[in-house]
Amino acid sequence: MGVRELLETLAAAVVENPEAVKVSEADEDGTIVLELSVADDDYGRVIGREGRTAQALRTIVKAAAPEGRRVFVDIID
């Protein structure tokens, strides 16, 4: 399982509408950039109180990154 699939799986487990979870992946100068999009009603769930859920998602995805690669997770509107 790659980091993209991992983020999709984790985000789908947190939200009420898992069908709306979309993750796009880009490779910029050796850095993996993942953009997470969810349904409008689920942004609060993904971000969490004081950003704790979002930070936890970022930490898990970064830990699963291939060695030597940086990963950024952006939650977009």
Nearest alpha carbon to residue 73 among 65, 40, 1: 65
Instruction: Report the C-alpha gap between 34 and 17 in whole angstroms.
Output: 19
pLDDT band at 68 (very low <50, low <70, confident <90, very high): confident
Q: What is the pLDDT of residues 10-55, one digit of tens each?
A: 999 999 999 999 999 999 888 999 999 999 999 999 999 999 999 9
Instruction: Report the C-alpha gap between 28 and 41 in whole angstroms.
Output: 30
Locus of tokens 């069908």: 19
61-71 residues labelled b (16+ CB within 10 A) or e (exposed): beeeeeeeeeb
Kindly state the tokens that stand for 35.
């953009």
Domain residue limits, the chain:
3-75
Output DSSP code: residue 1. -
Domain 3-75 has CATH 3.30.300.20: yes
pLDDT band at 71 (very low <50, low <70, confident <90, very high): very high
Q: What is the pLDDT of residues 1-10, one digit of tens each?
A: 899 999 999 9
